[in-house]
Amino acid sequence: MPQSPGFTIRAATEDDVTRLMALIQDLAVYEKLTHEVVATEESLRGRCFGEPPTADCGSAHHER
């Protein structure tokens, strides 16, 4: 995967689930759609890291 200077893009890991859930909730607040969020950390973990996974997730990090 091509990289941009100062950024790292990688596959998400189970250690990222709490942060990913927070991002989902923050986006829902911004879009005024919190009533539509049905995901939980547990369901996200199962979808992304269960056997078999049914969703893919990446993580981008900016290096300061």
Query: Is 58 inside a domain boundary?
Result: yes
pLDDT value at position 33? 98
- HSE (side-chain half, CA atoms, 13 Å) at 8: 6
Query: Is 4 inside a domain boundary?
Result: no
Query: Is 31 inside a domain boundary?
Result: yes
Query: Is 20 inside a domain boundary?
Result: yes
Query: Is 11 inside a domain boundary?
Result: no
Query: Is 25 inside a domain boundary?
Result: yes
How many structural domains comprise the chain? 1
Per-residue pLDDT of the chain (64 residues; tens, 9 = 90+): 556 678 888 999 999 999 999 999 999 999 999 999 999 999 999 999 999 989 988 888 887 7
Note whether 59 and 9 are within 8 A (CB): yes
Strand partners, 51: none
- What is the residue range of 45's domain? 16-62
